[in-house]
Structure formats: C-alpha cells, structure tokens
Amino acid sequence: MQTRTLAALAVALVTLSAGCGFLLGNEALEFAANPATVADDATTETGYEETNVTAVNLTQNVTVADQTRTVRLVNHRATYERQVDLTGLDTDQRAALLMTLSSPEIDVAGQTLNPLSGVDERDIVQRFDTGYEGLQVGQQVDNRSVRALGANRSVEQFEGTATLGGAELDVYVHATTFKHGDDFVTAVAIYPRAVDGEDERVVTLLEGLEHERGEGSE
C-alpha cells in the first residue's frame, strides 16, 4: 500500500481525535485488523499464486490541545498474481493481479470511523501500488454483485490504461470495499483487457475471500 494511503488514515485519525478527550493517558492506542486472504481452492482453480501477505503498520502522533497521544493502526495487505501470455510482455511477466487490504475500524470514546468512508472506488484504486506504471482509471463499465464473506458485495469495473514491462496496455480494473466484522475489506484486481475470461477468475477469487469477522456486524 502506498504512503499516501497511510497518510489518508492518519488524517482521518486527526479528524476523529479533536474534542474527544481520548488524549488523557500515556499509553498508545492500537487498532488491528485481521488479514483478508483468498482460500487455496480459489487460487488453485484460477491459477493465481499468493505472493505476499504482510502487516502494514501506521504509527501516528496526534496532538490536540497541547496533548499528544500515539495511535497505531495494524493493516494487512495480500497480493495474488497470475502469469499471462501477451505479445510485447516478457514470458515470465505476471500481468494479472488481485490485492486485498484489511483496515481496522477506529473506535475512540464511543465514536467510530471508517478511514475509507465516502472514498470513491476509482480513488481507492489509485491509492494501491499495483506494479503497473502510469495507471489511468477511466470510466466505469460494469457493476456486479458478488457473494463474498457471507453477503452480496458490489464490485465496480473500470476501463484503464497502464504500462507494464515496457508495454502500454489497455486494462480492466475491479474494486470493492465493504465492512466485515470489525474491519473494512478492500479488494482491487487489474489485468490486461486482451486476456479472455479473467473477469470470471476475479469473481472466483472474491468468492474465495477469507477473513475473521471479529465482534462487529457485516
């Protein structure tokens, strides 16, 4: 996840903290998400490979009314890739990928905040480090419902352009964000438009999402 995404979370924290009185005390406040990953049978069926699952930590010192408190967010990012055969790309280039990000709901002094609340799906895509250079997300071309983590989720599809391995490509981008338990789960998929049937592979991956929901509600 790129630095600007973490910065957006930090700004959200500052907004929440003002006037809440939670700065009383010295210990750091920590909010941790559970990882959102894809089940093995879904990756096997689609030919995707898990390449990275890692914690992405944000520590932010928030100062309000001359009082400073440290807030820690523990997010989790997972990346899945599939090799595709395209003219102009190296044969070992993994041009189809899906990324997930789980972020904790922030609950301070009885107030809750979703750092991604109200953020356009197109903007969420731009905040991910996809490995594609110069990614430009164009118009939305589809919106479908996918059954993931026990409920129907709205998944938006966009046209786009990007550069990968020195080749300029027309791509499709899929994005969804939803609440599951105590966390917010975001999934972004990107692949060349020339690849047939990749949208159905993306659906299979989303249907195979796994995430411990914690104590919150969907």
pLDDT in tens, 50-74: 999 999 887 777 665 566 777 788 8
Is there a contact between 203 and 176 (Cβ–Cβ < 8 Å)? Answer: no
Q: What angle do CA 139, 144, 150 make, to 5 degrees?
A: 135
Q: How far apart are CA 43 and CA 81, in angstroms?
A: 9
For the chain, give the percent of residues with pLDDT over 90. Answer: 44
For the chain, give the percent of residues with pLDDT over 70. Answer: 71
Containing 198, the helix (H) or strand (E) segment is helix 198-207
pLDDT for residue 46: 97
Is there a contact between 168 and 191 (Cβ–Cβ < 8 Å)? Answer: no
Strand pairing partners for 56?
75
Nearest CA to 102 among 176, 14, 43, 198?
176
If one compares 116 and 146, the residue with the highest pLDDT of the two is: 146
CATH class label, 34-54+75-210: alpha beta
Q: How far apart are CA 204 and CA 79, in angstroms?
A: 15
| Domain chopping of the chain, boundaries | 34-54+75-210
Give the pLDDT confidence of 136-173 residue by residue, as tens digits: 899 999 999 999 999 999 999 999 998 887 778 899 99
Provide the whole-model pTM: 0.81
